[in-house]
Amino acid sequence: MILVKSEQKQTDARIIRAERTQLDKRIQGLQDRIVEADSLAVIAALEKRFGKMECEKLTLDEKRQSQNTPPHSFERMFEHAMHFPANPWKL
């Protein structure tokens, strides 16, 4: 079954939201473990994992935002593509 672009975007958005929710739960659990930890080595390892998860969360947020940006119109892209051939001496 071929999905229309808007349906595909909605499906992708749902997947990203689900991943983000799941990641938030894992981060919350990790924060609880950091608070309860006694060993400095364990705390350092957990903080490292926490940092990686925060980076993943930012990546998911960027993916979600990039889906919301509309693609440029054909006219605008054509205008930019023809700008250089029209005036090659103007760089």
pLDDT one digit per residue (tens) for the chain, 91 residues: 455 777 887 888 899 999 999 999 999 999 999 889 889 999 999 999 999 999 999 999 998 888 776 677 778 878 877 877 777 777 6
How confident is the model at residue 70, as a pLDDT? 67
Residue 91 lies in a domain: no
Q: Buried (b) or exposed (e) across 39-49, using 16+ Cβ within 10 A?
A: eeeeeeebeee
Is residue 17 a part of any domain in this protein?
Answer: yes
**Counted domains in the chain:** 1
DSSP state of 39: -
Residue 3: per-residue pLDDT: 53
Q: Is 64 inside a domain boundary?
A: yes
Whether 44 maps to a domain, the answer reads yes
In this predicted structure, what is the pLDDT of residue 11?
85
Question: Which structural domain, as residue segments, surrounds residue 61?
Answer: 5-86
